[in-house]
């Protein structure tokens, strides 16, 4: 039988090369970064090849390392597939997801079962938190944020949402844009550290109506989800983001008393650190999340004419 290099060492090399970091590889393999370094040195000695250039605390793949990486990744992927088929839940992938609080409390938590059903079980940590989030310190795999907050990591704009006046069917009556100012209004204020959310005054000005002092009266909530719940309860008319209110409009819990919309100032963005980008479960979740966000903001209920 041909002598093989250390399997653990090959695993350490593949994880470090794929994630771009000894620290990230150490976290994935549940060992120390020093142990990862030693395992890779052992493989290099056994193979008689340098796999990394170590320059100023950074590691860069050598030509031998570049040649080995895709083949090892494929081999370990196949081994993982066999382990999952035979061992079941004992080999589930881990995924750390960070989203704005309003999205975690309801919108995403209600949909995660769809991801698991289509892509398989995973150990998922769902975190609802405001920006900025320490992505590296907390080992976040994927962050959805309102606006591009993390330029130091690969970030992509995925969708630009808008806000729509919505209310419970019983409150609607014969409402039109021109008399919305006479109804109880629900305001959303993300707070001093959050981005500026479109106000009712912004909306009235955009549609050419002078609301007077009425635009400042009514209930107020510091999260988009809470404002939406107040509207569903019949307590007033809210300016709700399409991504959140589309489902309630489709179910008949809410109606649109006016066709006018006001686009948000910034897009929703996805940030995935390089250490996580090549992981299959992260790539699968990225595709799924983008599809869910786009489907929500393009819902026919948001395009349909007002009641």
Q: pLDDT-based confidence at 155, cuts 50/70/90?
A: very high
CATH entry 3.30.310.50 includes domain 162-265: no
- The average pLDDT across 261-269 equals 91
Residues 42, 49 contacting (CB under 8 angstroms): no
Task: Please indicate whether the domains covering 7-85 and 162-265 agree at the CATH topology level.
Answer: no
Q: Is 57 helix (H, G, I), strand (E, B) or coil?
A: coil
Which pLDDT does position 307 carry in this prediction?
A: 43
- The average pLDDT across 249-275 equals 90
Cα–Cα dist 155/2, whole Å: 45
- 87 pLDDT higher than 70: no
- The average pLDDT across 65-88 equals 76
Helix runs in the chain, H state only: 7-19, 22-29, 33-47, 63-87, 101-102, 112-119, 169-172, 200-206, 224-232, 242-251, 274-277, 280-297, 300-303
Any idea where the domains of the chain sit in the sequence?
7-85, 92-159+267-297, 162-265
Which pLDDT does position 306 carry in this prediction?
A: 43
Which pLDDT does position 173 carry in this prediction?
A: 63
Query: What predicted TM-score, i.e. pTM, was given to this entire model?
Result: 0.68
Q: What tens digit of pLDDT does each residue of 185-206 get? A: 999 887 666 567 888 888 888 8
CATH fold group of domain 92-159+267-297 = D-Maltodextrin-Binding Protein; domain 2 (3.40.190)
Q: pLDDT-based confidence at 58, cuts 50/70/90?
A: confident
The phi and psi torsions of 146 (rounded to 5 degrees) equal -85, 105
- 127 pLDDT higher than 80: yes
Query: Which region holds residue 256: left if phi is over 0, alpha if psi is between -120 and 50, else beta?
Result: beta
């Amino acid at each position: 039988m041909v002598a093989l290099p250390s399997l653990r060492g090959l695993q350490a090399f593949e994880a470090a090369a794929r994630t771009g970091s000894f620290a990230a590889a150490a976290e994935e393999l549940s060992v120390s970064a020093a142990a990862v370094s030693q395992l890779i040195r052992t493989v290099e000695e056994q193979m008689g090849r340098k796999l990394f250039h170590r320059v100023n605390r950074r590691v860069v793949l050598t030509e031998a390392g570049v040649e080995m990486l895709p083949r090892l990744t494929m081999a370990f992927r196949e081994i993982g597939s066999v382990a999952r088929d035979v061992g079941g839940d004992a080999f589930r992938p881990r995924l750390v997801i960070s989203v704005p609080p309003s999205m975690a409390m309801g919108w995403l938590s209600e949909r995660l079962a769809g991801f698991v059903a289509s892509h398989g079980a995973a150990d998922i940590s769902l975190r609802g938190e405001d920006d900025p989030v320490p992505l590296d310190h907390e080992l976040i795999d994927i962050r959805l944020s309102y606006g591009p907050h993390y330029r130091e990591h690969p970030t992509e704009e995925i969708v630009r949402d808008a806000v729509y006046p919505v209310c419970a069917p019983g409150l609607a009556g014969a409402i039109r844009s021109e008399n919305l100012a006479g109804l109880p209004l629900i305001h959303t204020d993300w707070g001093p550290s959050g981005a500026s959310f479109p106000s009712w005054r912004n909306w009235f000005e955009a549609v050419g109506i002078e609301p007077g002092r009425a635009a400042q009266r009514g209930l107020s909530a510091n999260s988009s989800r809470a404002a939406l719940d107040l509207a569903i309860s019949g307590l007033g008319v809210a300016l709700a983001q399409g991504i959140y209110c589309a489902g309630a409009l489709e179910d008949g819990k809410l109606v649109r008393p006016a066709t006018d919309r006001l686009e948000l100032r910034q897009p929703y963005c996805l940030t995935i650190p390089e250490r996580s980008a090549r992981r299959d479960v992260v790539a699968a979740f990225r595709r799924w999340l983008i599809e869910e966000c786009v489907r929500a903001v393009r819902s026919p209920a948001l395009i349909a004419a007002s009641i």
